[in-house]
Structure 1
């Protein structure tokens, strides 16, 4: 029998909170997404999404960039290579944990 500590030790504490996990799941399905599309899909406020994206950016898991669109800029978000790998590893750790 495996100890629960061994199973949770592989979980990524940056990605694991529900909102950040949902953001990574959404972004894992696309190359990049507009901030508003992520916000609307996850049904969270601008400020909440900004806070979670900042945490993920600080960890090197997402990149944010602005593109001008007819006089105003739009923010786009993408998982970095490191972010994709960290998300995939986290999902695998969750699968192992739920199979124990």
Structure 2
């Protein structure tokens, strides 16, 4: 079931933030459900009506069926997760390159 949460008081972040996520009985917060939601919002997973597809392959009709499919096909779930992480968390340049370029600038 989709749960809507509002944080009223928080010591480490701004208060009064709202979010929604799926909580499944006996399982907790649905990781696959979040992959679907974030993937759709970022354009990684396509949604046409009730159908979801990934890289041109239909993976299910309805969020519950797609969640089950991703649980059974962990390779696809990890691929979607890695693409989401690549978009949200771009890789920082290695520290060695920064030091070398700073040294080159100092020499010039």
- Calculate the TM-score normalised by the size of structure 1: 0.28
Greater RCO structure (CA 8 Å; 6+ sep)? 1
Larger Rg: 2
- Calculate the TM-score normalised by the size of structure 2: 0.27
- Structure having the higher helix fraction is 1
